Structure 1
């Protein structure tokens, strides 16, 4: 069995913590031969964990891609706005790529990346890890098997969780769309992808509503301060207290481990005192929505209502799929799927076992599939190829376009054509690396 060799660009939470456990467990299948990461702390940690030598470490992706081709494929796990250039350069250099979602915060760049991958005959797979989870694969199977007849409509709720929302989208890297991406893309492109996959048809029309309503300075409680450590009068009772949240044991609260590297108590307190994670949630530079709905109609007549909210107890996805012969209800957090048959009136409950891998088994699942696709030279029409993911990205961009224009209806055919025509004749060539 051919061993697949990989290099990693971006050794943060996703590049290291999410995908490297698979490499460590299956050394006969896959090997990492290089890493590019600007943080020396992260480079050192990565090198020690993956047994890399000094000559296999790079501080920038340009440095790594400036070398003769090192391996079969790259994992690109940088921030949203840092995907396009290394991806194009890697594809042009002959690498296959596993790219963290979203592809880009620019629809034109998404279109171009997919086109270059196709032109070069390379596998560009997007980390829509949810498709690889046993929960969502069971959902897909039930639909394909005709268990509920023809799908008519779907209601899909993304419960972000109030603490997750405050950490990632008020204080964290995804708080401002000029630094990352709009919420519908940064967080909910997983959901757009799942919806497109379950419906199995192109989207025809999109409209969306939502706003940043709560986490604004005018809603700051009386007596609050710029930072939780500035003598805030309500810190002890505030649900978003940085001191209470981030000084918890990191094994009990994985978010606490993400604000400092390494996450010692001293380093975390320094991050609270000086960095964005200690700011009052009502006084940051955040601008992404804290709630949003998207309405969709697909070419096969299926209608979908998607709702994202930052004001929920749990981090969860709940879905209801309504068909001509029955109904499916799913609760991802509890791994519970209910199937109701109209003819017999019977309710069946399917319990999905909990996975130890991240994203309910999706992180392991995508690594396993990517390695298998490379080994068997499957470069097109894979489960989360750029070709498959582009449509759901465009759905997200269309939803944001609608939201910013008062909920105006977006015709997806015209929306797609506008980016296809813009990209024509402007295909990016080799970069300077």
Structure 2
């Protein structure tokens, strides 16, 4: 390979796989050398963007694996049910792996992935992108510095957004547990992982409540059609597919997602045709969905600290919101800004983390763009850097750390379904929460008292 420029293949050229590959190409630190993608149009677009010859494009991950070791590293961004198979196969070929979350749709398969990576001696990082944002580094740094004393409890909200939930979890690929997994895994394993990462310990006890309350046939309005196009009640429905997807036209970001999942035809006629014929035009009360639309998870940590996580569809699509309460202060964050209250002085300090990870006082006004994409880019950069240097410490979301937090999710699902509190013992959850916050992270100095 080029010195310092590892070769990387991509299995799954959808939104996630294409996004990571584009970041790697634009950053110039790695080379995209192969793609496996079953959709011919996506495969052709990806090959054209990265200048791949026909012999380096494959109809699926099995074909790519059968051709031999494709690259130094492989990004696996296939559908959830096809994470374990390619992860095991490419680890066996000696490829380092960046694996889209979840690791697998069952605990047994996730263990199989971990064992394959360790047996082959390859690095495997799960795409828990929230670990890699400047905001997360800031929050972890504040706790490591003792700015709020000992953390005692945490509240964390994942506001999915009414239209996002309808798009992905009622009409879309993650609507059914038997095809992907429970909502807590497919959407909110990010959040459970983040809580473990920030609090620095894996919970010892887990409880949960939640159900599919609204997107059910019995809640279908009188006179509603089976599809939004031509439906008499569509203009007054919050979940109108017609309103959502037509409003994406002319906005490049929204044309890429969510509209890109619906159709490649960026015209009104093309969108309407897709809504008349495809899954994204269905009435949300007439789909085959079964995942929950709201859920709470209660956590007890070995230290005695407690946590409460809420996921709900019935919000605007917004940043996660978190409050951490400590013995000497508390912090409140929205994914971009962090407010720190000191119980001794009573002072409130508002901080932001810039793209380089440095904390600074917030100037107020519109927040910086500290959303998911910061973590996506940082994770792609970290994966390439780990490959170039052979240093796994560049990656904070290794297979063992991710298996530990996935097990918390599976425990929460058992608790929700069975109405019990689930104990996580050293036997069922033997790994730690990940590395501590780096000692050299720049923090604002304490104010003199």
Provide the TM-score with structure 1 as the length reference.
0.92
CA deviations 1:138-185 (Å, max 9, x no partner) are: 111111111111111100011001111111111111011111110000
Q: Partners in 2 of 1:262 and 1:130 — Cα distance?
A: 32
Which sits farther off after the overlay, 363-372 or 62-71?
62-71
CA distance in 2, matches of 1:205, 1:246: 42
* Structure 1 runs not aligned, ≥5 long: 419-433
Larger deviation: 251-260 or 215-224? 251-260
Secondary structure of 1:141's aligned partner: helix
Within a 5 Å distance, the mapping from 1:348-363 to structure 2 comes to 348-353=349-354, 359-363=372-376
Asked if 2 retains the 8 angstrom alpha-carbon contact of 1:327 and 1:340, the reply is: yes
**Corresponding residue for residue 6 of structure 1:** 8
Structure 1: distance between partners of 2:96 and 2:370: 24
In the alignment, what sits opposite 1:65?
65
Partner of 1:149: 149
- 1:314 has 2:288 as partner: no
Structure-2 change in CA distance of 1:275 and 1:155 (3 Å): same
User: Shift of residue 266 of structure 1?
Assistant: 3.7
- 1:178-189 alignment runs, 5 A limit: 178-189=178-189
CA contact (8 A) 1:271 1:278 kept: yes
The answer as to whether partners of 1:164 and 1:315 remain within 8 angstroms in 2 is: no
1:397 and 2:431 matched: no
**Map of 2:272 onto structure 1:** 269
> Deviations for 1:55-96, whole angstroms, at most 9, x for unmatched residues?
111001111111132310100000110001111000011111
Alignment of structure 1 residues 60-209 onto 2, 5 Å = 60-209=60-209
Instruction: Kindly provide the CA deviation profile for residues 88-122 of structure 1, in whole angstroms up to 9, marking residues without a partner as x.
Output: 00001111100000111101111121122112211
Change beyond 3 A, Cα 1:100–1:355: farther
Task: State the aligned residue count.
Answer: 412
**Contact map agreement 1:381 1:387 (CA 8 A) in 2:** no
RMSD value over aligned CA atoms? 1.8
List structure 1 runs of 4+ shifted beyond 3 angstroms: 262-267, 352-358, 379-382
User: Take 2:89 and 2:390, find their aligned partners in 1: how far apart are those partners?
Assistant: 21
- CA spacing shift, 1:34–1:416, aligned 2, 3 Å: same
Q: Which runs of 5+ in 2 are unaligned?
A: 355-366, 431-449
Kept in 2, the 8 Å contact 1:130–1:359? The answer is yes
Query: Within 2, Cα distance between the matches of 1:331 and 1:249?
Result: 26
State the 1:199 CA deviation.
1.2
Q: State how far apart, in whole Å, the 2-side matches of 1:141 and 1:60 are.
A: 42
Moved more, 158-167 or 309-318: 309-318
Q: 8 Å contact 2:210–2:296 — kept in the other structure?
A: yes
Q: Which deviates more, 376-385 or 391-400?
A: 376-385
Q: How far did residue 262 of structure 1 move?
A: 4.7
**CA distance in 2: counterparts of 1:255 and 1:93, whole angstroms:** 35
**Partner SS, residue 316 of structure 2:** coil
How many Å apart are 1:417 and its aligned residue? 6.9
SS at match of 2:416: helix
Greater Cα shift, 59-68 or 352-361: 352-361
Task: Determine the C-alpha separation between the residues in 2 that align with 1:44 and 1:355.
Answer: 35
Within 5 Å, which residues of 2 pair with 1:289-304?
Answer: 289-304=292-307
The CA deviation string for residues 199-244 of structure 1, in whole angstroms up to 9 with x for no partner, is 1112100000000001101001111011112x42211111111111
Query: Where do 1:248-263 residues align within 5 Å?
Result: 248-250=247-249, 251=251, 253=254, 254-263=257-266
1:327 maps onto 2:339 in alignment: no
Shift of 1:386: 0.7
Distance (Å, rounded) in 1 between the aligned partners of 2:406 and 2:368: 27
Return the alpha-carbon distance in structure 2 between the equivalents of residues 170 and 267 of structure 1.
Answer: 22
Residue 286 of structure 2 is aligned with which of 279, 283, 287? 283
